[in-house]
Amino acid sequence: MAELALSPEEARLCRDLLAAGSKSFHAASLLLPRRMRLPAAAVYAFCRVADDAIDEADPAAGGAAAALVGLRQRLDRIYSADPGADPVDRAFHAVATAYGIPRAVPEALLEGFHWDATGRDYRTIDEVRAYGVRVASTVGLMMTCLMRPRDPRWDLATVHARACDLGVAMQLTNIARDVGEDARRGRVYLPLEWLAEEGLDPRALRDDPRPSPALARVVERLLAEADRLYARADAGVAMLPWDVRVAIRAARLIYAEIGAVIRRRGGDSVTGRAVTSRGRKAWLALRSLGAVLPWRPSPLLASAPVLPEAAALVAATAGRTGPG
């Protein structure tokens, strides 16, 4: 497919937002084939400006709720014939049109941002997974839409189900890594039921976050759930076009390594933030090179049922219209 037709201003702004906004996403994008780099930058740019719009919403003007209404109005324009004058909106319109990204996907992403801004709590692991689907799997689904052609042996719903697994696994890793940082910002993303089982009060965690064996056990449970989903996502890598497998496999290995660092710290993600060294990242990137070779994934993992929390989005993307 020819390179996406964006104006120089649109392309420059999307690339600049990606380079400035996320070192990890930007580094991973460099491993993508050239055909995907500009569309991926446009997807990231829209996600970035949407997140900022809700985070920075003026309470006097209606706060996050009003910002969400405004973003949905922008989506109305993006998914119409006239996306308006904003260069990021125009770029995302071009990508969504060319690659058939259903509106339900960015709509769910906006909902996840709104959950963040309104301080939503998550009682069960199912609710935490639902949050992960919105803020992470949505991005993975949009990226998967950009990755054509795909292996015809695999139906689109299966490929997208495994992409959702990877997004949630990465988000659970983020939550496990940022327990202390989030608590100091007044946020707890750990399942409240799990905290209660360990005799932990989320209010006390917010007021005075401290490491403890009980909290470490909750973190370990979250990492175990992430590992289960990483294993399912591994089967999905084999279903992707050969030229994107290395980038996706590298991202998966580097994220999972964060969990390994937390475990080496005894499950303490309160007194410090788990960091993967540059050397270790380079080694994991080298390990990912084997992903370019064809292999047959485990049938059990490949055919695992879609996460219930992601079922509606997988149905929307598997039945999408447009090229692909």
Confidence of residue 300 (pLDDT cuts 50, 70, 90): confident
Identify the domain boundary among 62, 84, 99: 99
- Name the burial class of residue 4, with classes exposed (0-12), middle (13-18) and buried (19+) by CB atoms within 10 angstroms of its CB: buried
Cis amide leading into 149 (omega within 30)? yes
| pLDDT at site 150 | 67
| pLDDT at site 289 | 82
Is pTM beyond 0.75? Reply is yes
Query: Which contacts of 79-86 are long-range, i.e. CB under 8 A and separated by 24 or more positions?
Result: 79/103
Residues 69 and 176 in one domain: no
Contact 304, 90 (CB under 8 A): no
Residues 295 and 324 in one domain: yes
Note the pLDDT tens digit of each residue in 240-266.
998 999 999 988 999 999 999 999 999
Contact 67, 51 (CB under 8 A): no
Residues 61 and 112 in one domain: no
Residues 37 and 137 in one domain: no
* Domain range for 318: 104-324
The residues, ordered by sequence, that sit 6+ positions from 114 with a Cβ below 8 Å of its Cβ are: 54, 64, 65, 68
- Tell me, yes or no, whether 30 lies in a domain: yes
Contact 168, 310 (CB under 8 A): yes
Identify the domain boundary among 99, 121, 154: 99
Note the pLDDT tens digit of each residue in 73-84.
999 999 999 999
The whole-angstrom separation of Cα 109 and Cα 310 is 12
**Helices in the chain by DSSP H: which ranges?**
8-21, 23-29, 34-55, 63-78, 87-99, 104-117, 125-132, 138-146, 156-177, 179-184, 192-197, 202-207, 213-237, 242-264, 278-287, 299-302, 311-318
Query: What per-residue string of b and e applies to 136-154 under the rule 16 or more CB within 10 Å gives b?
Result: bbbbbbbbbbbbbebeeeb
Residues 224 and 186 in one domain: yes
List, as one string, the DSSP characters of 188-248.
Answer: --S-HHHHHHTT--HHHHHHS----HHHHHHHHHHHHHHHHHHHHHHHHHTTS-HHHHHHH
Residues 204 and 322 in one domain: yes
Residues 181 and 298 in one domain: yes
Confidence of residue 24 (pLDDT cuts 50, 70, 90): low
The whole-angstrom separation of Cα 10 and Cα 207 is 44
Identify the domain boundary among 32, 67, 99: 99
- Tell me, yes or no, whether 2 lies in a domain: no
Contact 314, 164 (CB under 8 A): yes
Contact 75, 32 (CB under 8 A): no
Residue 320 has pLDDT above 70, yes or no: no
109 or 301: which leads in pLDDT: 109
Note the pLDDT tens digit of each residue in 273-282.
888 888 888 8
> Domain total for the chain?
2
| pLDDT at site 25 | 67
